[in-house]
Structure 1
Amino acid sequence: MWLLRAETHPDKAQVYPVQYFDQVQVCNGLTTNTVTFKVNAMIRSLTTFALATAASALSLSPNGVQSGCMFSVPDVGDFNTQILHDWSSSSTSDDVFKDLQASTYTVDAGTAPFARRFDIVNIGQDTKDPSITLTVPGGQQHGPVSSAQITTGFADILYGSVRTVAKVSNVPGTTHGFSFYANDTQEVDLAFLTSDISVIHLTNEQLTPDSELSSYQVDAPSDAATAWHEYRVDWLPGVTNFYIDSELVHSIDKNVPTTPSFFLWNSWSNGNSWAAGPPTSNSVLKIQSVTAYFNRTSVASSIAANPGACVSNPFSILSAYYADKNVTTSAQSAFINGSNLYIDTSSLDTQLGGNPWSGTAKTLTFLYTYGTETRVFVAAQNSGTYLITPGGIDTAPGSVLVPSITAPAKATIDIISVVWGKSQISTASVWNALYNDSIKKYSFQLLDEFFGIDTWWGTQKTAVIWYTAADGSFKAVVGRENAWVKFT
């Protein structure tokens, strides 16, 4: 089902309907608004950089690695938006195509014989050779020539790396374009002319009529029409880099755009000397997948407004109790602060959804991990603030490491930590008693005498005993002082 919206084309006056497609991951509120790039030190100025004309195997560029809310692309830089498409196993449903646009506007003929019009009907699916298809129907003898184009659903891209796995048409008379585009002087193109698919045309359009030309050709894979290949365009500050099957084939350092843009994939004809045509039979561009990394200016604004809102946090809160109330979800939201844990015990009722035990002083107890360490945090209500920073246990006030006490051979559970009142209990005799009760399925009463210590004199305490059950599930025995409990 095609879901249409009307939007204004960034460089046209008319309004046209669009279709939103794809899966997009955008990081809002990131770590920094500085996007860094590693520009290839060797800027090539050759008019032609030859790629072996023999058939080459598909080789994909390495994916970006997410850190916090940024995506780090090896040897390229950091970006705040990622797009991932794989149409090799997906249908052209609304979900699959969300956040891309199918263009439906007309480009005037100008000096060309015909105008061209982008039509949604020309965007389809090949189920036998899984991919989406952009088709210029054959046999058109009058303009506007019906063509096909998809663009990103946003036009605020300022630098990016786009990898398209595609098969091109060998029917003469069309142009296939993979381009960053803001306007006719702010444009980066990787293009095939289907009248001669032995070469690929790489261009930074002239910034002014007097600018030096920056259009080059490289040899295309000899099987570009019959085999999948990755065509990659990296637009970076001061340079555009072009890759085929993950190998750098050319760099251009002239006429590099600096204006935010969108990215487009199209197949079109208007009968001019460039595109030729129109084609006599259907000319089909097949796209199997798209992987893209962008720096979007709107996301950079979110970064500036919310620094640290998406900082990667090295701590993971596994389970939390406020007295005997499970508050794990609330604790994960309330206490994770940037790359730290911050606990203000003066406002626990508010942060954790209410007072679970009126008239009684309570403890906050949670089990958490840092790296390979499992720790327990315990603090009394209104005992101050605690800032836990990345580092050793000495940087984690209120925290202790869980003990390592071997379970008896007959035990069907594995105890992780035992907390009574304001302290973790690591006495082997207490753990052995707990294991014995679990083996015999006995109930036991939560008393100072059982735990061998009064950890909070004059206050009714809470016990939290975390353990792994026989089926591997993570559980806790929790109760107030004097209560009878048992392992399940």
Structure 2
Amino acid sequence: MRDIFSMLQFLTLTAIPAVAQFASTTTFAFTSDTLPTGLVISSDTIDDSSGHSSATFNHQFDAENVQVKDGYLKLIVPGGRTTSTLQCAEVSTEFEVLYASVSTYAVLTDEAGVCNGMFFYHSDSQEIDIEWISDANSTSNLDANNGTRAMQYTNQGPHGEEDSSEVYGQAADDATSTVHEYRLDWVNGTSSFYLDGVFQQQIQTNVPTTSGNWVWNNWADGNPDFTVGPPKNDAVFQIQKIVMQYNTTADDQQQGSAPANRTTWTNSGTSRTPRVKTAALLPFWGGWLVHVILSV
């Protein structure tokens, strides 16, 4: 009985915490020297230093700082820059999603002075973030974990950061030297966050309701309350693989409805019909029992 109960507790931690059905699966693997089809490089300039921000620099996303090399997507913030505008790096999906489970397999930046971001974005008020602030002395890290670098999870609020919902999670001890899986599950009414398949945190306020793109970036703006920086040396965020399960507005799905199979494209241009995964939590003594159905 004890072994069964332990297994049920494990399933509780690793299960999607609501009914979640995804019609499509896309995997981006960085095995060539070009960016996979389905991802695009950003070129936006962000005016960080205006208004009430504590940032001392603006930043711009530059294609020169996006490299696919040695089996990784490398997002680079060049070191030693002392004037605005700081050159940074960002890629996003060409397509929009409406609810998703996205796993990013990555090595986080060790060099102090940047933010590594893995997030859903429609607007500043429709956004879910996984963020790593590489400077342990950032106010964000001091507030989160007494100066130890932590994972930061956020649903942005109606007025952006002003009324956002924020929680924190523990980072792996070797997060800056070893690939780990950073997963965000977005379903109707809930954002859930996982590290290497283990549940970390959940937010049920300010959950987006509108479709948008998935984004990965590495940036700095000199804000002592956030990125600090700019970095003294090149700061590199390395992504080995991205696995996305998702719905789109074209699926016209509500939670609990039956998803339709869709063709899935990988970076190599091949297609397949994905398995449809349905996960639901059922009440059980002492916790919850996960019920998973895979249809081939």
Preserved contact between residue 92 and residue 132 of structure 1 (Cα < 8 Å): no
1:258 and 2:216 matched: no
Name the counterpart of 1:343.
none
1:284 and 2:225 matched: no
Q: What is the aligned counterpart of 1:192 among 109, 114, 132?
A: 132
1:294 and 2:258 matched: no
Preserved contact between residue 132 and residue 286 of structure 1 (Cα < 8 Å): yes
Q: Which amino acid aligns with 1:108?
A: D
Preserved contact between residue 26 and residue 243 of structure 2 (Cα < 8 Å): yes
Q: CA deviation at 1:219?
A: 1.2
Query: Relative to structure 1, is the Cα distance of residues 99 and 229 closer, same or farther in structure 2, using a 3 angstrom cutoff?
Result: same
Describe the SS at the equivalent of 2:250.
Answer: helix
1:79 and 2:22 matched: yes
Query: Relative to structure 1, is the Cα distance of residues 310 and 284 closer, same or farther in structure 2, using a 3 angstrom cutoff?
Result: closer
Q: CA deviation at 1:216?
A: 1.3
Q: Distance in 2 between matches of 1:269 and 1:114?
A: 8
Describe the SS at the equivalent of 1:198.
Answer: coil
Name the counterpart of 1:91.
32
Describe the SS at the equivalent of 1:255.
Answer: coil
- What is the CA deviation profile of residues 149-198 of structure 1, one whole-angstrom value per residue up to 9, with x for unaligned ones? 0101023x111000000001111100001111111111100000010373
Describe the SS at the equivalent of 2:157.
Answer: coil
Query: Relative to structure 1, is the Cα distance of residues 152 and 310 closer, same or farther in structure 2, using a 3 angstrom cutoff?
Result: closer
Q: CA deviation at 1:103?
A: 0.4
Q: Distance in 1 between matches of 2:259 and 2:20?
A: 20
Q: Distance in 2 between matches of 1:218 and 1:310?
A: 34
Q: What is the aligned counterpart of 1:124 among 67, 85, 93?
A: 67
Preserved contact between residue 80 and residue 300 of structure 1 (Cα < 8 Å): no
Name the counterpart of 1:425.
none
Which 5+ residue runs of structure 2 have no aligned equivalent? 1-11, 137-147, 263-296
Describe the SS at the equivalent of 2:207.
Answer: coil
Q: CA deviation at 1:76?
A: 5.4
RCO greater where, 1 or 2, for CA within 8 Å and sep 6 or more?
A: 2
Overall identity of the aligned pairs, in %: 31
Which 5+ residue runs of structure 1 have no aligned equivalent? 1-41, 45-60, 63-72, 302-306, 312-488
1:222 and 2:173 matched: yes
Preserved contact between residue 139 and residue 280 of structure 1 (Cα < 8 Å): yes
Name the counterpart of 1:140.
81
Name the counterpart of 1:201.
152
Q: CA deviation at 1:211?
A: 8.0
Q: Distance in 2 between matches of 1:270 and 1:135?
A: 14
Q: What is the aligned counterpart of 1:239 among 186, 190, 209?
A: 190
Query: Relative to structure 1, is the Cα distance of residues 183 and 245 closer, same or farther in structure 2, using a 3 angstrom cutoff?
Result: same
Q: CA deviation at 1:299?
A: 4.0
Query: Relative to structure 1, is the Cα distance of residues 79 and 125 closer, same or farther in structure 2, using a 3 angstrom cutoff?
Result: same
> Which TM-score applies when normalising by structure 2?
0.72
Name the counterpart of 1:376.
none
Q: CA deviation at 1:310?
A: 6.0
Name the counterpart of 1:473.
none
